[in-house]
Structures are given as C-alpha cells and as structure tokens.
C-alpha cells in the first residue's frame, strides 16, 4: 500500500494540470487555486517521502517493460527540489501571469511538466523514463508556443533540437537494453567498451541537451525572448538542469562505470569547458536582461558537466552541488528579471537603469544571486565552483583554466548587468516604477536566502543530499563540506574576481556606462568578427542544420521534379497506352475471345508438361 504513494508525485500535478485545462476561462482564480493546491500537495508529498526508500512495480505490457518507480535518496532529492521550485515559481506566476493569454494552457503545461519530470526521475525502467521524458518535451513545446508572436517558431526549434537528441537517447536506450539484457535502471552496470561508449554517448546527448549544454543550446536564448518568463525560471533554469544532470549523473555513476581513465571523461570535460567559455562570451555582450541570463543558463551547465566529467568524487560532488546552486540562483535571477519586466515594462538594458531605489528588495535578491553565480564567498556558488576547480585542476590545467576564465567573464557580465539595470541614473519613464507585489517577492526572497544558507552552511546540502549519492565507497571517507581545503584555488578565485571588478571599473571609466562596460572585449580585434557572426546565428547548429536542409531540399526538389515527371507523365502515358492497347484487343468478336481462351489453355498445359 505504501508503495503506491510513489504514484502521487506523478498523479497530483497531472490531475491538477488536466483540471486547470478544463476550468472555464472566466472562472477567475479557480485555475490558480487548483494549480497552487496541486503544487503544494506535490511539495508536501515529496518532502514527506524524503529519506524513504520505496519501490513500486506494476506489470505492464511485458517484454521486460514494467512500470517500475524507485525512490531513493537521489531521486527523492531531485523531486523534492523540483517540487520546491515548482511551488515557488507557481506562486510567482499567479501574479506575474495575471491578465495574460492562454492561462489555462500555461498552468496545465506547467503542472504536466512537473508530473512528467517527477515521472522521469522516479522511473526505474529506461523505457518508462523515456516516456515521461518525451512527455515533458511535448509540454515544453506547449509552454513556449503560448508565448505569443514568434513563439511558435521558437517552440518548433526547441522541439526539433530536443526531438533529435531524444531520438539519440532512444537509440541509446535500445542499445543499453540490448547490452545489459534488461531495461531496469537499477540492474544495469555496464563497462565502457566500444558499444558501451556508444550507448553512453547516445544517452549523454539526451541528458546534456536537456540540461541545455552546447551544441544543443540554441533554442534557449530564443525562448528567453519569446516565452513567458516563469517558464524560463522554471524549465531551463531549474527543472531541465535538474533532470538533465540527474540523468548524466545516473549514467555516469550507475549505468556505466565512468572513471578518469576513459576518453569519455575527457570528452565530457571538453564539452563542459567549451560550453562554459562560449556561452559566457555570448552572455557578456547581450543587451537584454533575459537573454543575458539565458546564456548564463547555458554556461553554468558547462560547470556541471565539467565537474561530473572529471569522474573524481570531488568533481562530481561539485557538479551536483553546482546543479542545486545554479537552479537556485538562476531561477532567482530570472524571477528578478520577471519583476523588472512586469514593473518597468521592458527587459532591454538600454532602457533600464537606476532601479535600485525603486525596487530595493528585488535589487538585493538580484545582488545575492549575482554574487552567488559569480562565485563570491560566502555564497553557495563559491563553494561548488571551488570543488569543481579542484577536480578540474587534478585532471588537467587546461580545464581549470577554462573554468577560471569562465568565472572571470561571468563576474564581468553580472557586474555589467547589475550596473546597467539597477545602478546608474534612472530614466524618466521609469521614475514611477514600484516594487513588485509581495507574491512575486516572496519566492525571490526565499530563494535568495537559500543561496546564502547553502553557502554558509554548505554542510547541510552536501552532507545530507549530495554525498549519499556517491555512497561511502566512492567517497573513501572524505568529506567535502566546510571551507575549501585548497588555499591556492581560493586565492586564484579571489584574484580573478578582483580582476573582473577592475575590468568593469575600467570599462565604465572608458565608456561611461555600465551597459558598455565590456565593449572593449566585445570589439576587441578578432573577437568582434566572431561576435558578429554569432549574433547572426552563424554558429547556431540549428540554423546550420536548416541551411543544410535547404540545400538538400533544393537537390531533392530537382530529383522530385524527375520523379514527378515519372508519376505525372510517364506512368500516366504508359497506363493510357496499355489501357488503349488492351481496349483494342477487345474487338467484341467472340472467335477472338475463344482463341484467347484456347491459347491460354494451350500455354497452361505446355507449362504444366514442362514443369512435371
């Protein structure tokens, strides 16, 4: 009986979503009420399930496909976290979304996403996981598509990119099932031989694309502009990271035996490093609040992948801790972005500025989150980054370098963002901007406080949530909470942060504005060309793919004409000729028909005699 409780985290949001979809449009606060109750119940259930180990299996279609769910410390942690974010962001959305279009659909997709993500996390069968995984993709499509003009195109883009990567994952699952002989996740433990590596890579593609890593990232900045803002805080910032990194961790730790000696590990670290650098470079030059954040959402994934890719306990713990921290401060940042958008009516940095006085609480929350993401002690980001640096340095200085450069640029870009949005002179039209409503402030405050708590008392999350994931055997008695042990790294970090600050001050002095503080990097010789190309989506794999498809379709068109000719002209004429011929043969003369019959019989007998 108690096992069946595992179905609740899936059923509650799903039911809530369907109810929200069905409520009449003019029912006032009913759908908000339903949605809030659903997320609250979800929160209660997941929290109450925390620390318990449960397994629930329902015989399904057979062929080794049983509907099995497993709750243990890792999945419990992830679903609790997603329930936490879900609750806060729903709370925020109720105010933020008021008066917008497609509210029913928004709440429905929101809750359904939550249900599917819970399902995917809990699933103990690869196929069941895939089912929920794809389901969340469909809901994602819906969530972006309701954003308004141009959103549909972005939604399609996201759908195609993620659809292709999910397809890879599907193959990966098939291959894994073939190799392991079972689809039950907890029973799989494969070596990374040739086929195993292939399966790993296919699964990894699915996982990191969900998390938003390069080169599967390009829909995120577009979605940041087009889709409803709570979606950004909810999906790319928090839940997708949780889900993607969860899967990456599962396949690295449980499904496959990833260790530092495999090339897979190097590959993961490379992907991570490249993602950190490139995405943060793009973030640096953005002139839009949300878009800047969205590039950071990509960049931070790089740290997590880098951390897990080190395949060292310290790196993995760092990566996972970073996942939690990132979900916290990134969603907080997006929420502040939402508050600014709601109150000031724009997220264009050129139109903002000086909001510090008008929106003090928002500014404080932003400051906390920005400091955390930049890795300033004693906020949580600092500790997780230190752990990742530690791991990266052990595996190779180049990865460490990438991470530290990323850190520098992150700090620089947030100095720019903060300066442009909240400091400086306020514009005339923003004079009357007020602080955001309490319902929107509360989630920000809660998250910002959590950032501080997880930083100062990092023993709390690391000891309780993250270290159990690796297990005592892997940890080897080490503990990773508390203050960083490697003084060298701390010193370097502090130097880098100071450099970022100096850089910012230099930029401000030179160009006279916070917004343009990094223009000397933007227009640096060599870099500006690349930036221009990148702004023109020259490097977007999706666009490249589209162009490729265009070329292929041109060629296909030519072939198609030919085939068309075969269908339209050749076949028709041939048929007409045959038909005409056959008609001519039917003269209506019975002796001709008789002759046919007799000849037919003659040949039949001839054939028979030959074949005996």
Rg (CA), the chain: 29
Taking the complex as a whole, the smallest distance from the CB of residue 579 to another protein amounts, in Å, to 4
Q: Which residues of 146-158 are buried (b: 16+ CB within 10 A; e: fewer)?
A: bbeeebeebbebb
Taking the complex as a whole, the smallest distance from the CB of residue 568 to another protein amounts, in Å, to 13
Nearer to another protein, 53 or 579 (CB): 579
Nearer to another protein, 191 or 580 (CB): 580
Using CB under 8 A, pick the residue from 53, 259, 547, 579 that binds another protein. Answer: 579
Q: Minimal CA–CA distance to 253: which of 188, 198, 208, 205?
A: 188
**Per the structure block, which two tokens stand in for 277?**
């650098």
Taking the complex as a whole, the smallest distance from the CB of residue 59 to another protein amounts, in Å, to 25
Using CB under 8 A, pick the residue from 26, 425, 431, 610 that binds another protein. Answer: 610
Measured between alpha carbons, how far is 410 from 292 in angstroms, rounded to an integer? 10
Taking the complex as a whole, the smallest distance from the CB of residue 557 to another protein amounts, in Å, to 25
End-to-end CA distance of the chain: 72
**Is 601 among the residues that bind another protein (CB under 8 A)?**
yes
Using CB under 8 A, pick the residue from 261, 510, 533, 586 that binds another protein. Answer: 586
What burial class does residue 463 get, using C-beta atoms within 10 Å of its C-beta: 0-12 exposed, 13-18 middle, 19+ buried? Answer: middle
Taking the complex as a whole, the smallest distance from the CB of residue 578 to another protein amounts, in Å, to 5
Nearer to another protein, 431 or 610 (CB): 610
Nearer to another protein, 524 or 606 (CB): 606
Measured between alpha carbons, how far is 525 from 409 in angstroms, rounded to an integer? 18
Give the count of residues interacting with another protein (CB under 8 A).
Answer: 30
Taking the complex as a whole, the smallest distance from the CB of residue 323 to another protein amounts, in Å, to 49
Instruction: Count the neighbouring beta carbons within 10 Å of the beta carbon of residue 9.
Output: 30
Residues 522-561: x where in contact with another protein by CB under 8 A, - otherwise, as a string: ----------------------------------------
Using CB under 8 A, pick the residue from 61, 473, 487, 608 that binds another protein. Answer: 608
Taking the complex as a whole, the smallest distance from the CB of residue 151 to another protein amounts, in Å, to 37
Nearer to another protein, 434 or 583 (CB): 583
Q: How far, in whole angstroms, is CA 146 from its chain's centroid?
A: 18
> What are the residue ranges of helices labelled H in 345-463?
360-374, 380-395, 397-421, 438-456, 459-461
Taking the complex as a whole, the smallest distance from the CB of residue 235 to another protein amounts, in Å, to 40
DSSP assignment of 442-455, as one string?
Answer: HHHHHHHHHHHHHH
Instruction: Please choose, out of 129-137, 278-286, 291-299, 588-596, the segment that lies near another protein by the rule CB under 8 A.
Output: 588-596
**Is 578 among the residues that bind another protein (CB under 8 A)?**
yes
**Is 594 among the residues that bind another protein (CB under 8 A)?**
yes
Instruction: Please choose, out of 125-133, 359-367, 522-530, 577-585, the segment that lies near another protein by the rule CB under 8 A.
Output: 577-585
Taking the complex as a whole, the smallest distance from the CB of residue 590 to another protein amounts, in Å, to 4
CB 456 within 8 A of CB 444: no
Using CB under 8 A, pick the residue from 538, 557, 567, 607 that binds another protein. Answer: 607
Nearer to another protein, 194 or 582 (CB): 582
DSSP assignment of 494-539, as one string?
Answer: HHHHHHHHHHHHHHHHHHSSSTTTTHHHHTSTTHHHHHHHHHTTTT
**Is 593 among the residues that bind another protein (CB under 8 A)?**
yes
Instruction: Please choose, out of 222-230, 285-293, 327-335, 596-604, the segment that lies near another protein by the rule CB under 8 A.
Output: 596-604
Taking the complex as a whole, the smallest distance from the CB of residue 208 to another protein amounts, in Å, to 42
CB 305 within 8 A of CB 275: yes
What burial class does residue 583 get, using C-beta atoms within 10 Å of its C-beta: 0-12 exposed, 13-18 middle, 19+ buried? Answer: exposed
SS3 12: helix
Cis peptide before 378 (omega within 30 of 0): yes
Measured between alpha carbons, how far is 322 from 373 in angstroms, rounded to an integer? 10
Measured between alpha carbons, how far is 571 from 575 in angstroms, rounded to an integer? 6
Nearer to another protein, 473 or 608 (CB): 608
Instruction: Please choose, out of 422-430, 503-511, 553-561, 570-578, the segment that lies near another protein by the rule CB under 8 A.
Output: 570-578
Taking the complex as a whole, the smallest distance from the CB of residue 574 to another protein amounts, in Å, to 10
Cis peptide before 215 (omega within 30 of 0): yes
**Is 592 among the residues that bind another protein (CB under 8 A)?**
yes
Instruction: Please choose, out of 323-331, 342-350, 548-556, 587-595, the segment that lies near another protein by the rule CB under 8 A.
Output: 587-595
Alpha carbon separation from 545 to 216, 258, 536, 542, 549 (Å, rounded): 12, 32, 15, 5, 6
- Return the bridge partners of 561, or none: none
Taking the complex as a whole, the smallest distance from the CB of residue 603 to another protein amounts, in Å, to 9
Nearer to another protein, 473 or 582 (CB): 582
Instruction: Give all strands (DSSP E) within 23-107, no chain letters.
Output: 54-62, 65-71
**Is 575 among the residues that bind another protein (CB under 8 A)?**
yes
Taking the complex as a whole, the smallest distance from the CB of residue 365 to another protein amounts, in Å, to 60
Q: Minimal CA–CA distance to 211: which of 275, 150, 262?
A: 275
**Is 600 among the residues that bind another protein (CB under 8 A)?**
yes
In the chain, % helix, strand, coil (3-state, to 5) comes to 75, 5, 20
Nearer to another protein, 525 or 588 (CB): 588
Measured between alpha carbons, how far is 76 from 304 in angstroms, rounded to an integer? 20
Taking the complex as a whole, the smallest distance from the CB of residue 545 to another protein amounts, in Å, to 35
**Is 590 among the residues that bind another protein (CB under 8 A)?**
yes
**Is 591 among the residues that bind another protein (CB under 8 A)?**
yes
Using CB under 8 A, pick the residue from 498, 499, 549, 604 that binds another protein. Answer: 604
Instruction: Please choose, out of 431-439, 509-517, 550-558, 599-607, the segment that lies near another protein by the rule CB under 8 A.
Output: 599-607
Instruction: Please choose, out of 59-67, 321-329, 560-568, 604-612, the segment that lies near another protein by the rule CB under 8 A.
Output: 604-612
Q: Which residues of 288-302 are buried (b: 16+ CB within 10 A; e: fewer)?
A: bbbbbbbbbbbbbbb
Nearer to another protein, 2 or 591 (CB): 591
CB 418 within 8 A of CB 340: no
Instruction: Count the neighbouring beta carbons within 10 Å of the beta carbon of residue 24.
Output: 9
Taking the complex as a whole, the smallest distance from the CB of residue 560 to another protein amounts, in Å, to 20
Taking the complex as a whole, the smallest distance from the CB of residue 149 to another protein amounts, in Å, to 41
Measured between alpha carbons, how far is 23 from 37 in angstroms, rounded to an integer? 15
Query: Site residues (CB under 8 A) for another protein?
Result: 575-576, 578-580, 582-583, 586, 588, 590-594, 596-602, 604-612
């Amino acid at each position: 009986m108690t096992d069946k409780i595992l179905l609740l985290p899936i059923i509650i949001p799903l039911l809530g979503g369907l109810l929200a979809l069905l409520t009449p449009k003019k029912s006032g606060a009913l759908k908000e009420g339903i949605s809030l109750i659903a997320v609250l119940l979800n929160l209660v259930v997941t929290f109450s399930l925390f620390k318990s180990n449960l397994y629930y299996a329902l015989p399904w279609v057979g062929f080794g496909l049983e509907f099995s769910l497993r709750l243990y410390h890792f999945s419990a942690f992830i679903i609790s976290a997603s329930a936490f974010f879900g609750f806060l962001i729903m709370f925020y959305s109720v105010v933020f979304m008021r008066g917008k279009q497609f509210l029913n659909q928004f709440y429905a997709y929101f809750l359904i996403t939550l249900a599917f993500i819970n399902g995917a996390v809990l699933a103990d069968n690869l196929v069941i996981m895939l089912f929920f995984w794809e389901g969340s993709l469909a809901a994602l499509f819906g969530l972006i598509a309701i954003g308004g003009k141009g959103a549909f195109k972005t939604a399609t883009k996201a759908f195609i990119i993620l659809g292709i990567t999910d397809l890879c994952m599907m193959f990966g699952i098939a291959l894994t099932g073939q190799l392991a002989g079972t689809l039950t996740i907890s029973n799989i433990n494969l070596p990374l031989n040739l086929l195993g590596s292939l399966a790993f890579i296919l699964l990894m593609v699915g996982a990191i694309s969900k998390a938003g890593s390069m080169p599967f990232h390009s829909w995120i900045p577009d979605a940041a502009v087009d889709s409803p803002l709570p979606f950004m805080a909810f999906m790319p910032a928090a839940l997708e990271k949780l889900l993607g990194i969860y899967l990456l961790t599962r396949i690295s730790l449980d499904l496959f035996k990833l260790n530092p000696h495999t090339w897979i590990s190097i590959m993961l670290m490379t992907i991570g490093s490249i993602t950190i650098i490139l995405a943060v470079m793009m973030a640096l030059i953005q002139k839009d609040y949300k878009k800047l954040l969205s590039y950071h959402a990509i960049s931070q994934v790089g740290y997590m992948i880098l951390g897990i890719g080190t395949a060292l306990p310290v790196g993995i713990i760092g990566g996972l801790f970073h996942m939690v921290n990132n979900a916290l401060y990134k969603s907080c940042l997006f929420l502040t972005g939402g508050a600014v958008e709601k109150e000031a009516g724009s997220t264009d940095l050129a139109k903002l500025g000086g909001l510090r006085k008008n929106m003090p609480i928002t500014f404080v929350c932003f400051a906390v989150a920005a400091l955390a993401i930049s890795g300033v002690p004693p906020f949580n980001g600092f500790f997780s980054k230190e752990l990742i640096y530690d791991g990266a340095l052990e595996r190779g200085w180049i990865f460490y370098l990438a991470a530290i450069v990323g850190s520098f640029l992150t700090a620089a870009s947030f100095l720019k963002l903060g300066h442009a949005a909240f400091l400086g002179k306020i514009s005339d039209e923003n004079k009357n901007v007020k602080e955001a409503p309490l319902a929107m402030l509360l989630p920000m405050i809660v998250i910002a406080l959590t950032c501080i708590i997880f930083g100062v008392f990092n023993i709390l999350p690391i000891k309780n949530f993250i270290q159990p994931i690796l297990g005592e055997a892997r940890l080897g008695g080490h503990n990773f909470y508390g203050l960083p042990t490697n003084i060298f790294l701390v010193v370097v970090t502090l130097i880098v942060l100071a450099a970022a600050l100096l850089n910012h001050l230099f930029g401000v002095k030179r160009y006279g504005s916070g917004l343009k503080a990094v223009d000397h990097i933007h227009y640096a010789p060599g870099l500006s060309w690349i930036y221009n190309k990148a702004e023109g989506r020259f490097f977007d794999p999706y666009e490249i793919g589209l162009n490729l498809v265009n070329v292929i379709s041109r060629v296909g068109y030519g072939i198609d004409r030919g085939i068309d000719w075969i269908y339209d002209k050749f076949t028709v004429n041939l048929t007409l000729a045959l038909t005409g011929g056959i008609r001519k043969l039917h003269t209506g003369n019975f002796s001709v028909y008789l002759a046919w019959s007799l000849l037919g019989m003659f040949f039949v007998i001839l054939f028979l005699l030959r074949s005996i």
